[in-house]
A = this chain, B = another copy of it.
Amino acid sequence: MSTNSQTILEAAMAAHKSRNFFSQYPESPKAYPEDGMEKGLAAFQALLNTDYNPNNFTDHISMYGAEVSPYLQTGIGVNYPIYDVPTLISRAKSAKISWSEMSVAARADVLIKTLDALKEKFFEIAYATMHTTGQSFMMSFQASGPHANDRALEVISMGYEELTRFSSEVEWTKSMGKFDLVLKKNFKAIPKGISLVIGCSTFPTWNTVPGLYASLITGNPVIVKPHPKAVLPIAIYISEIQRIFIENGIDPFTVQLAADTMDSPVTKVLAENKNVKLIDYTGNSPFGNYIESLNKTCFTEKSGINSVILDSANDINAVAQNLAFSVSLYSGQMCTAPQNIYIAETGIETPSGIVSFDEFVEIFATAVKNLALHPKSGPGTLGAIQNEETIKRVKNAKMNGATLILDSIAIANPEFENARTLSPAVLTTYSESEAVFMNEYFGPIVFVVKTKSFEESLELTANSAAEHGAITCLAYCIHEARANFIEETMNNTFTPVSFNFTGAAFVNQHAAFSDFHVTGGNPAGNASFTSPEFITKRFVWVGNRFMS
């Protein structure tokens, strides 16, 4: 392994052990060359209305693209090679032979090289992410570039650790009294087979690269099936991996992009192919449940309902501002975004007295509105909405059983006049109206729910996580005993709790090397970035014994 890779790998291993802050790839654009943004934009623009095939692969059956920029409301015109499934599978099978025979150190070395090469593409990938997902530029840069790379490095380092934790060879010596029985043994981590990673439309690299690199470090070839509305970011990412593989004499089809067409989707065909042994999936629950039903090794991140318990706080305005940001960020399209805010009818305790339910709703709605209408922060926080269904949902947010307090506002973006940007709709309802708020409303819709008591708030939050899944839970509580009770109750539904977040701490953000993203313990998904199982389920330990 190169000294550079070794140094990075060791730092990453120490980081996931300590779980303190660590980032190999700084999240600030300012940490990268000054002309990066300009060059990245130019590189992105040069791709518009072209056929994307930078490594000049052949044998595709057609070229196709269907991406529409949520900022421009026009197609970006990029076409991707479409391969038939037998081609994808046979290339993966062939690539597996040499890839699985490489040592884990050699695999780690070249995979870290791909991450280093990807640094040069962060700005280009950021623009590609912005104009496919609708994320703001800053989120696009951070999530699709440095944060994705850090998550990738995290799985490489965990994979390296897992595959080297046992001796690979031993001379096993057992005293039999009069003589020693000696057996030579070896222990091998045998990769399970072809890995399929199914991308989503909102986080096309961040949600894809953990599965991608986890399968690669454990010796499995990978086919990435992107969402047809968000191909370009991961296409750039993968072509860069392939380029580095070619440079290092490795079969580039060890990783393949399997773009498909709206008319002829290929996900199920790939998922059901008998050679595909591993599936990573991010997306809606019905399809996730189908993936889980296939009886393959799978890693799913599905939908859920994230809750906030608002019991007591030191500074109610700081709470309202923090919550306003968390529900507005990327228009509530993050899997970590809160949807339901539970407050007891007795109100919120603060050092300066009780804040009533209605008072808080007003402070909160004002904070949401002010953020949305702030000329700079508004569009930069909200981003834009890609999916027509999400638009419809928020426009129809008036509903029986809930009161619309703040309607969604169409926000003008000074840079992009056609940008489709909507602020969150804020509704209030009662704990009796579970039929209304106990559904996932993906996008910028927030319910503030009046409950009978703290206990009911917690019960609803726990039941919601157990039945519908939850990736996050945010609690505001300044009473130690109650806070402990929240922590214990929610942890028993396998949901992490963030307490009293104000200022720069947001529940939406899960950091690589520290936060387990999705626990795998409730219906929001069966896997976690990045618990040990995310690695160990991708291979099988097999030991052989030899008579000396």
Binding site for B on A (CB under 8 A): 16-21, 28, 162, 165-167, 170-174, 176-177, 179, 181, 183, 185, 187-188, 190, 192, 487, 491-492, 494-505, 511, 514-516, 519-521, 528, 531-533, 536-537, 540-547
Contacts and interface: CB of A to CB of B under 8 A. Distances in A.
Contacts of A492: 190
Nearest to A21: B174
Contacts of A544: 487, 491, 496-499
Contacts of A491: 188, 190, 542, 544
Contacts of A174: 21, 511
Given A183-B505, A192-B521, A536-B532, A546 B20 contact: no
Query: How many copies of the shown chain assemble into the complex?
Result: 2
A323 to B, nearest CB: 13
A547 B494 contact: no
Contact of A170 (B20, B192, B487, B498): B20
State the 4 A-B residue pairs at the shortest beta-carbon distance, nearest first: A521-B540, A500-B547, A21-B174, A498-B545
A487 B192 CA distance: 16
A484 to B, nearest CB: 10
A521 B542 contact: yes
Given A19-B185, A494-B542, A542-B494, A172 B547 contact: no
A524 to B, nearest CB: 12
Given A19-B170, A487-B544, A528-B540, 7 more contacts: A176-B504, A185-B515, A494-B542, A496-B544, A500-B547, A515-B543, A516-B543
Contacts of A546: 498-500
A531 B536 contact: yes
A174 to B, nearest CB: 4
Nearest to A539: B521
A496 B543 contact: yes
A500 B165 CA distance: 28
A357 to B, nearest CB: 23
A531 B537 CA distance: 11
A120 to B, nearest CB: 24
Contacts of A167: 17-20
Contacts of A177: 28
Contact of A20 (B173, B176, B528): B173
Contacts of A505: 181, 183, 545, 547
6 contacts: A20-B170, A165-B532, A183-B505, A505-B547, A532-B536, A533-B537
Given A162-B532, A491-B188, A515 B16 contact: no
Which of A192, A516, A540 is the most central at the interface, judged by chain B CB atoms within 10 Å of its CB? A540
A536 B162 CA distance: 13
B21 A187 contact: no
Contacts of A528: 540-541
A540 B19 contact: no
Given A183-B505, A190-B521, A166 B17 contact: yes
A511 B181 CA distance: 13
Nearest to A499: B546
A18 B187 CA distance: 11
A501 B547 contact: yes
Given A496-B543, A499-B546, A514 B190 contact: no
B499 A18 contact: no
A21 B172 contact: yes
Identify which of A16, A167, A502 gathers the most chain B CB atoms within 10 Å of its CB: A167
A422 to B, nearest CB: 29
A185 B514 contact: yes
A536 B504 CA distance: 34
Contacts of A499: 544-547
Given A516-B541, A533-B533, A537-B533, A547 B18 contact: no
A28 B546 CA distance: 24
A17 B162 CA distance: 11
A320 to B, nearest CB: 15
